[in-house]
Chains A and B, each alone.
Chain A
Amino acid sequence: GENVEQHPSTLSVQEGDSAVIKCTYSDSASNYFPWYKQELGKRPQLIIDIRSNVGEKKDQRIAVTLNKTAKHFSLHITETQPEDSAVYFCAASKGGSYIPTFGRGTSLIVHP
């Protein structure tokens, strides 16, 4: 089955810095890559996603890039703010099932 590796497990940055979280996947048939944000004590929520026919997608301060050849994708957050502090999960899924396999999560801490 699919295996998703996510790094780093913890990322500490100063407010205003950029943050990058990287994930790799194993199944070349995966074609949908969502990112979820989970604030402390809250439910995971989708923040951005990308499909395999697109190399990059942006939404304001966040962007995701996908390299299908290398089977890795990354989340980029620019101009980080304290409210960006949360656990971020990458995931990969394929076909019409959309059952995502999640990475282990990255705890992002943004220091004011």
Chain B
Amino acid sequence: DSGVTQTPKHLITATGQRVTLRCSPRSGDLSVYWYQQSLDQGLQFLIQYYNGEERAKGNILERFSAQQFPDLHSELNLSSLELGDSALYFCASSGGTGSTGELFFGEGSRLTVL
């Protein structure tokens, strides 16, 4: 158990819809990262938050947005969903005391867009 909690584990929705994925980081970690993993693809970095503020952006579509709340949990919002958005979305955290750079991943949220 990494200590990172993601919900929901599975989500099936239709094109054009909007979903919200939730992540609770490890206790003490200040950074939250979101990654997208499509079939046969690597881990595509979407966005990072540090202590409530956006720190870095990767290949995140304009239809996607995220935020980190004062209690450090984070939400990834995906809107106007397309078939190609079907993927496994991972949240990871780091940045706690003594951080070495290791990312601790959650179990992922599998999104299926029909």
- Taking beta carbons and an 8 Å cutoff, which residues of A are in contact with B? 6, 32, 34, 36, 42-46, 49, 89, 93, 97-105
The number of A-B residue pairs with CB atoms under 8 Å apart is 50
Alpha-carbon distance A50/B74, docked complex (angstroms) = 29
Q: For residue B101, which residues in chain A have a CB less than 8 angstroms away from its CB?
A: 32, 34, 49, 93, 98
Q: For residue B33, which residues in chain A have a CB less than 8 angstroms away from its CB?
A: 99
Which interface class (under 10, 10 to 19, 20 to 34, 35 or more) fits B?
20 to 34
Alpha-carbon distance A34/B55, docked complex (angstroms) = 21
State the Cβ distance, B63 to closest chain A Cβ, in Å: 22
State the Cβ distance, B24 to closest chain A Cβ, in Å: 14
Q: For residue A46, which residues in chain B have a CB less than 8 angstroms away from its CB?
A: 102-103
Q: Which 3 A-B pairs have the closest CB atoms?
A: A98-B101, A43-B105, A104-B42
Contact with A along B22-61 (1 / 0, CB 8 A): 0000000000010000000111110010000001101000
Evaluate whether A102 and B43 lie within 8 angstroms (CB atoms) in the complex, with A32-B101, A43-B90, A93-B101 already known. yes
Evaluate whether A43 and B2 lie within 8 angstroms (CB atoms) in the complex, with A89-B43, A99-B56 already known. yes
